[in-house]
Amino acid sequence: MTETPTHDAARYDFHAIEERWLPVWEERQPFRSGRPDDDRPTKYVLDMFPYPSGDLHMGHAEAYALGDVIARHWVQKGFNVLHPIGWDSFGLPAENAAIKRGVDPAGWTEDNIAQQVSSMKRYACSFDWDRVLMTHRPDYYRWNQWIFTRMFERGLAYRKHSNVNWCPKDQTVLANEQVVGGLCERCDTPVTKKKLNQWYFKVTEYADELLDGLETLRGSWPDKVIAMQRNWIGRSSGADVAFEIEGRDEPITIYTTRPDTLHGATFMVVAADSDLAAELAEGADEATQAEFATYVEKVKGENEIDRLATDREKTGVFLQRYGINPVNGERLPIWASDYVLADYGHGAIMAVPAHDQRDLDFARAMDLPVRVVLDCTDENGQAYGDPAETGIAAAGDGTLVNSGSLNGMAKAEAIAAITEELSAAGTGDAATNYRLRDWLISRQRYWGTPIPIVHCEACGEVPVPDDQLPVQLPAAEGLDLKPKGQSPLAAATDWVNTTCPSCGGAALRDTDTMDTFVDSSWYFLRYLDPAKSDGPFDVLDAKRWAPVDQYVGGVTHAILHLLYSRFFTKALRDMGMLDFDEPFSALLNQGMVQMDGSAMSKSRGNLVRLSEQLDEFGVDAVRLTMAFAGPPEDDIDWADVSPAGSAKFLARAWRLARDVESEPGVDPSTGDQALRAITHRTLHDSQELVEGFKFNVVVARTMELVNATRKVIDSGAGASDPAVREAAEVVSILLSLFAPYAAEDMWAMLGHEDVALATYPAVDESLLVEETVTCIVQVKGKVRGRLEVPPGISEDELRELALASDGAKRAIGDAGIRTVIVRAPKLVNIVTA
Ligand code: ANZ
Ligand code: ZN
């Protein structure tokens, strides 16, 4: 152990303090969490790992400051905290940088990681530096391949030929999740469709569980994230109904959520880009066939979101074919259109224009009939007009009309009745559908995990045996990494040509790489033993540490990353490797750091550089500012906060420790009782406040404690009062969550070592008796009453109490109230009209 450095106690100098403690922590590594003799209870606190695209920025600084408050808190509560860090180091940015500058993606990546490591250490993140992982290293991606192979064996990884999302700029396929508003998530290029043979993970196998599992997270995950996942999975229930088609042997099955409206169907629509549409079009006249062919070409360039939009002009081609409505034998014309998707339900619908907006828009555009079959009212109880006239579909609830045996029934009743009827007649059945699709994981890019499959003419798709993993990426040197629609790996012929692990014959390696979301789907398990060489993780380690108790990261990952991690967890559980269902027991989404009301960017010219902030105000002040700015979920505008103010406060706190005159271990019970009450109240409340993520309030309360302590030093028994020492020690322990350098320096001045490992002192309950303060109630500036209220009372509560007080009521009389000014807890001023 290194000796505690001596210091210049005269004034607060954050540069000197940082220089003093950084090497000490580097040597002592206080946050090593795997010591075998450690019998403290465990806690797993995880920050989303960064992409090494450059040095740390303000967004990282916020995320890691907040995650660190939580991790350090649990250490101070006496837990053995696992708080690891690693790098999500495969992916397009490294590859694009490599293409642009002609450098090796591996070298570029490693350099950036080294830079980030040094910045994180300076930033005093409480990471366990013995557990670092990097996903681009073969000792990590080997296990991606291993897990892929296990998935393959279970039918959870498979290859299929299908229409996929294609980014024309990046020249690679994208998962549905990577298409945002019809654009490529990475480069904002409109995404098109392309027919390709691709690898998938069968996420849909777990669709129900992924949906139902969300309920177990309610209260521990943000509601917004739960709602986003729920919508993404998009479970809906209704019925499959078979429609006979004139001149076709097989009926067409459609999916509908509204079988009750079957009598209102006036036409049918098939997805223009489906095989079904192509087949039906073959029976049409030549002009129609030509029109259809042109239309399909156009549709192929369109994205899903636009296609489903209600406010869009409806287009389509009449295929000159007819279907028969199974409930009334009516002939329904069949159209091809883009507003029906090929890969949802059955790619075909019955159109009920009176009750479905898109169908109505289509009917009005193509002059097709509209028939009301539900007498219904909207959510305000208003009756709808005639949809054909108003253009507004009657989508509400109501009573069935024009529907034969269903007449007079309510919607829900009719759905049940007709479903039963259809199923008795053999023309339909209840059905469930999901918006969720299987996860397309193959990418035609270089910088990723090679898919561990060998294609053999005799044996087909053969997984590379475990003892031959990892399949290492061939060196980038000599390969053209530019996107060109085919994986750059295909050009590494020495690498591609191999022998079949099964028959020994000549065979070819799969040249695609995995989506990098595969890497991040299980990394939290690899931290448990990042050097493990005989498996991805140890089952017993997972029992001990996982699931993650607290996950901290950006809401940008609300869908993709969290959904995939949840899928991996369930799949690994079913492989017998995990004994829990959900990877992240609790989730905190921090907001973003902005500048002058908008996201920071170089092009906007409002970029705030973290390194400059750290140089100017110090690490502690920046960290404290992040925590003090407001609730962690809210965005921070750097123009509205004051790192200089934070630095001033830290100096003030630091001087308390400098001024303490009593000895360590002195009995505080003889000290100033009022100060002790504040100290213990702060100590008590802060722990609950941290656990409720009210970090800003903890900072505010610590500021109050600092002020109260200063007052006692400047008066009364002064700096030798043992209550002053007690308060200063509590201040440094609380501050170590936010400002570890200042806290460590204070702790040393107070005669101790390693503030981060100092557990919270026991709260003296007898000092917690609730004090009250007197609140003055004024009406139009005149004192009309006094209230005894708890000091922590909220503004809203206090406003209500004041308005309800007798004195105020009397003074207000019949006059209206113009404004109520509340200065909790001491003053309420009511201004009457
Ligand atoms: C008739 C009907 C009447 C419908 C009505 C709705 C309201 P969700 O909830 O998203 O599952 N649909 C079915 N397959 C489709 C496809 N491949 N592309 C586009 N739309 C499709 O939506 C199911 C409803 O969306 C289905 O119920 C169908 O229209 C349409 F008053 O059938 B409905
Ligand atoms: Zn073979």
Judged against a pLDDT cut of 80, whether residue 303 lies above it is answered with no
Residue 348 CA, ligand 1 centroid: distance in Å: 9
Report pLDDT digits (tens) over 801-828.
Answer: 999 999 999 999 888 899 999 998 999 9
- Nearest to residue 243, comparing CAs of 432, 431, 429, 427? 427
Among the atoms of ligand 1, which is closest to the Cα of residue 265?
A: 1
CA distance 593 to 107: 30
Q: Residue whose CA is closest, atom 10 of ligand 1?
A: 236
Residue 236 CA, ligand 1 centroid: distance in Å: 10
Top mutation candidate among 231, 237, 255, 373 for ligand 1, by most atoms within 8 Å of CB: 255
CA distance 282 to 289: 7
Among the atoms of ligand 1, which is closest to the Cα of residue 351?
A: 1
Report pLDDT digits (tens) over 783-800.
Answer: 999 999 988 888 999 999
Among the atoms of ligand 1, which is closest to the Cα of residue 352?
A: 3
CA distance 33 to 43: 10
- Nearest to residue 386, comparing CAs of 399, 397, 375? 375
Q: Residue whose CA is closest, atom 19 of ligand 1?
A: 340
Judged against a pLDDT cut of 60, whether residue 3 lies above it is answered with no
Top mutation candidate among 240, 258, 402 for ligand 1, by most atoms within 8 Å of CB: 258
**DSSP letters along 151-183, please?**
HHHTTSEEEEEEEEEEETTTTEEE-GGGEETTE
Residue 368 CA, ligand 1 centroid: distance in Å: 18
Pocket of ligand 1 (CB under 6 A): 236, 238, 255-258, 261, 340-341, 344-345, 347, 349-350, 352, 355-356, 433
CA distance 751 to 736: 16
Given the structure tokens 């074919």, which residue do they identify?
321
Q: Which ligand is nearest to the CA of 499?
A: 2
Residue 163 CA, ligand 2 centroid: distance in Å: 29
Say what the pLDDT of residue 42 is. 95
Residue 290 CA, ligand 1 centroid: distance in Å: 28
Report helix, strand or coil for 450.
strand
Residue 460 CA, ligand 2 centroid: distance in Å: 7
CA distance 796 to 132: 47
Residue 442 CA, ligand 2 centroid: distance in Å: 22
Mean pLDDT in residue range 128-154 = 97
Find the length of the chain: 833
CA distance 460 to 465: 15
Among the atoms of ligand 1, which is closest to the Cα of residue 354?
A: 31
Report pLDDT digits (tens) over 198-237.
Answer: 999 999 999 999 999 999 999 999 999 999 999 999 999 9
Judged against a pLDDT cut of 60, whether residue 7 lies above it is answered with no
Residue 457 CA, ligand 2 centroid: distance in Å: 6
Q: Residue whose CA is closest, atom 18 of ligand 1?
A: 340
Question: Cα separations (Å) of 225 from 508, 583, 733?
Answer: 42, 15, 33
Residue 200 CA, ligand 1 centroid: distance in Å: 26
Q: How confident is the model at residue 80 (pLDDT cuts 50, 70, 90)?
A: very high
Q: Residue whose CA is closest, atom 27 of ligand 1?
A: 256
Say what the pLDDT of residue 35 is. 76
Which segment of 258-267, 359-368, 460-469, 485-494 scores lowest on mean pLDDT? 485-494
As beta bridge partners, residue 366 has none
Q: Which ligand is nearest to the CA of 498?
A: 2
Residue 461 CA, ligand 2 centroid: distance in Å: 8
Residue 482 CA, ligand 1 centroid: distance in Å: 41
Say what the pLDDT of residue 609 is. 94
Share of the chain above pLDDT 90, in %: 81
Top mutation candidate among 252, 257, 437 for ligand 1, by most atoms within 8 Å of CB: 257
Among the atoms of ligand 1, which is closest to the Cα of residue 393?
A: 31
Report pLDDT digits (tens) over 172-182.
Answer: 888 776 787 77
Q: Residue whose CA is closest, atom 9 of ligand 1?
A: 236
612 vs 771, more confident: 612
Question: Cα separations (Å) of 774 from 22, 481, 802, 831?
Answer: 47, 72, 12, 20
Q: Which ligand is nearest to the CA of 236?
A: 1
CA distance 110 to 94: 10
- Nearest to residue 378, comparing CAs of 361, 359, 395, 399? 395
Say what the pLDDT of residue 483 is. 76
Mean pLDDT in residue range 499-516 = 97
Judged against a pLDDT cut of 60, whether residue 6 lies above it is answered with no
Q: Residue whose CA is closest, atom 14 of ligand 1?
A: 345
Do the Cβ atoms of 360 and 393 come closer than 8 Å? yes
CA distance 205 to 216: 19
Judged against a pLDDT cut of 80, whether residue 484 lies above it is answered with no
Do the Cβ atoms of 105 and 98 come closer than 8 Å? yes
Residue 5 CA, ligand 2 centroid: distance in Å: 66
Among the atoms of ligand 1, which is closest to the Cα of residue 343?
A: 17
The tokens describing 4, both together, are: 């505690």
Report pLDDT digits (tens) over 26-73.
Answer: 999 999 987 778 889 999 999 999 999 899 999 999 999 999 999 999
Mean pLDDT in residue range 385-409 = 94
Judged against a pLDDT cut of 90, whether residue 368 lies above it is answered with yes
- Nearest to residue 712, comparing CAs of 702, 722, 698? 722
Q: How confident is the model at residue 4 (pLDDT cuts 50, 70, 90)?
A: low
Do the Cβ atoms of 659 and 713 come closer than 8 Å? yes
Q: Residue whose CA is closest, atom 22 of ligand 1?
A: 257
Report pLDDT digits (tens) over 533-586.
Answer: 999 999 999 999 999 999 999 988 888 999 999 999 999 999 999 999 999 999
Q: Which ligand is nearest to the CA of 508?
A: 2
Share of the chain above pLDDT 70, in %: 99
Judged against a pLDDT cut of 80, whether residue 771 lies above it is answered with no
Do the Cβ atoms of 614 and 622 come closer than 8 Å? yes
Judged against a pLDDT cut of 50, whether residue 295 lies above it is answered with yes
Residue 339 CA, ligand 1 centroid: distance in Å: 10
Report pLDDT digits (tens) over 88-97.
Answer: 999 988 888 8
Q: Residue whose CA is closest, atom 21 of ligand 1?
A: 340
- Nearest to residue 417, comparing CAs of 403, 397, 436? 403
Judged against a pLDDT cut of 70, whether residue 8 lies above it is answered with no
Residue 345 CA, ligand 1 centroid: distance in Å: 8
CA distance 243 to 328: 11
Say what the pLDDT of residue 626 is. 97
Q: Which ligand is nearest to the CA of 500?
A: 2
Among the atoms of ligand 1, which is closest to the Cα of residue 236?
A: 11
Q: Which ligand is nearest to the CA of 348?
A: 1
Top mutation candidate among 349, 411, 434 for ligand 1, by most atoms within 8 Å of CB: 349
**DSSP letters along 355-376, please?**
T-HHHHHHHHHHT------EEE
Residues 6+ apart with CB under 8 A from 283: 247, 319, 320, 321
